[in-house]
Amino acid sequence: MEQLSVQKRIFIAVLLTFAFFIAYDYFYLSKFQVPENNATGALIDKQSRNTEALVNEAPNAKNDKVAPAKAVNKRNVITQIKGKIANFSIDDLGRINSYVLNESKYKNDDKMQIDLVDLSKSPLPLEMRFSDPDLNELAFKTPYVASASNLDITKNEQNLVLTQNLGDVLVTKNITFYPNGSYKISVQLNKNAEFFIAPGSRPNIVVDGYTVHGVLIRKDDESLKMFEDGDVDSNENIQNANIAAVSDRYYTTFFYDFTNKLNLVISSDSDKVSQIFAKADKTFEAGGFIGPKHYDLLTGIDKRLSDVIEYGWFTFISKPMFGFLKWLHNYTGNWGWAIVIMTLIVRAILYPLSYKGMLSMNKMKDLAPKMKELQARYKGDPKKLQTSMMELYKKNNVNPMGGCLPILLQVPIFFAIYRVLLNAIELKGAEWAFWIHDLSVKDPYFILPITMGILMFLQQKITPTNFTDPMQEKIMKFLPLIFTFFFMAFPAGLTLYWTVNNLASIIQQYTINKMFAKHKAAIKEEKK
């Protein structure tokens, strides 16, 4: 194996550990960002065009075409509901047209309480559409009648009945709202008429480049599938689903039914934003939720709803990692210190891998002069160079990939932690110490990212390297500066993790360097 090849592999491993997932999230996922202002009319027109080309993939399905909305989203309010989680309202088309979270930490950039319903988006939560175009047009012209104008669900659930008279068709929505933000909805028609009902459009609060956006489906076999924004060209029909959710980074709205299952139609609007409708004929029943993706809140409704909190590729690691972080928080009472302790414990568990990698890099550094000699001697004979290099590694008991593989094996764990700290709404408004008053937003004074960059630089200084490619060496020297720049915009909780992780790495590297130097000195003494 050529020396350059070995160095390239080690170099790639280092970059994969750090730059890969950060740069990937920062640049690639940003294509899923949604413009803040969308005209309702454009949404409706595009949706109408999409549904005309609908493909039926389900057996025994009559019609999967979702009719367009026939009215603007600003309508008269007929019911006001005061809740523990949020205060919200129902408009005269039987839809939730406002959902304002109550906790003080849920504020937008203007310091106003967050409203999870965006009236510029369509459909609104609980919006119904009919396959029959004439019936659909009539439905968007005919107001509902509510059984109550005001409800208080702060302590107990309350029931609301909404009725709509469409001539031959009578629509009855029977909704029970619960203090935890969930609801149960039953739709009854007096005669057969195919309709579609939506849990709503994706909350438009934290639409960023760090989160993959789309429709999340949980099937009856517990598998999860994401229909990402931009990937739904023609409408799709999904049967036997038990969760159908649309979410941004922190907030979600969804239907769920673990008994009878959901028959779903997925479409997209003019901006390629994925949308979801449940399809039914005459009757429909399901549970629903609008609110933050708070683990305790969701699992308090049903443990299976934690699947709405989706972490990407390494969800299978991220979920238990968040559980561990949450367990630490229960003892410390502080999410910041929980992050610090978790980081140190993970570093301790991974120490054997880190030790092997660091030790291998020390050995490779010692062999660097001999490797350069071989490169010069067999410059025109790559095959002979490779053979000689392998003999050198074998003679000195060195694995050329020994510094690379341990790092690669740690990538899934570090990536999983990275996703946990990015997605955890529990960190919103959570203080750590000193100047950090919210772990979900960037460090206001950039102290943590600068400290992280300095520690990363110090780690590089004490880490053995033997680069033969000057370009690789230059890039490595600039990594601390690049990462400092990236992390200036990242949540403080994530930056805290990387800062503590770098500090632990320095301590481990220093210790191993001392051990290796002592070992070399002992060997020299034996040879005397």
In whole angstroms, give the CA distance from residue 259 to residue 176: 18
pLDDT score, position 286? 96
List the chain domain ranges: 3-19+319-522, 53-305
| Section 102-117 average pLDDT | 88
pLDDT at residue 41 above 80? no
Give the residue among 48, 39, 104 at the shortest CA–CA distance from 73.
Answer: 39
- Give the percent of the chain with pLDDT over 90: 43
pLDDT score, position 59? 32
List pLDDT tens digits, range 349-383. Answer: 888 777 776 666 666 666 667 777 777 777 777 77
List pLDDT tens digits, range 164-221. Answer: 999 999 999 999 999 999 999 999 999 999 999 999 999 988 766 667 788 999 998 8
Contacts of 423 (CB under 8 A, 6+ apart): 211, 249, 250, 293, 309, 311
Question: CB count, 10 Å around CB of 504?
Answer: 20
pLDDT score, position 49? 36
pLDDT score, position 24? 42
* pTM of the model as a whole: 0.79
| Section 95-123 average pLDDT | 90
- Find residue 227's DSSP bridge partners: 215
Contact in structure between 212 and 226 (CB atoms under 8 Å): yes
What H or E segment, with its residue span, contains residue 502? helix 492-527
With cut-offs at 50, 70 and 90, classify the pLDDT of residue 283.
very high
pLDDT at residue 8 above 50? no
What Å distances lie between residue 21 and 18, 90, 457, 486, CA to CA?
Answer: 7, 42, 20, 12
pLDDT score, position 63? 56
Concatenated DSSP letters of 335-396: HHHHHHHHHHHHHHHTHHHHHHHHHHHHHHHHHHHHHHHHHHHTTT-HHHHHHHHHHHHHHT
Q: Comparing 400 with 136, which gets the higher pLDDT?
A: 136
In whole angstroms, give the CA distance from residue 43 to residue 122: 7
Phi-psi region at 259: left, alpha or beta (left = phi > 0; alpha = psi -120 to 50)? alpha
With cut-offs at 50, 70 and 90, classify the pLDDT of residue 465.
low
pLDDT score, position 425? 92
- Find residue 77's DSSP bridge partners: 91
pLDDT score, position 43? 34
pLDDT at residue 274 above 70? yes
Contact in structure between 296 and 269 (CB atoms under 8 Å): no
Question: CB count, 10 Å around CB of 431?
Answer: 14
With cut-offs at 50, 70 and 90, classify the pLDDT of residue 31.
very low
What H or E segment, with its residue span, contains residue 286? strand 283-292
pLDDT score, position 28? 38
Cis peptide before 449 (omega within 30 of 0): no
With cut-offs at 50, 70 and 90, classify the pLDDT of residue 98.
very high
Tell me which of 276-285, 375-384, 489-498 is least confident: 375-384
Contacts of 368 (CB under 8 A, 6+ apart): 466
**CATH number, span 53-305:** 2.70.98
List pLDDT tens digits, range 292-320. Answer: 999 999 999 999 999 999 887 778 888 89
pLDDT at residue 256 above 70? yes
What H or E segment, with its residue span, contains residue 447? helix 447-462
Highest mean pLDDT: which range of 116-120, 242-246, 358-362, 378-382: 242-246
| Mean pLDDT of the residues in the chain | 80
pLDDT at residue 80 above 70? yes
With cut-offs at 50, 70 and 90, classify the pLDDT of residue 526.
low
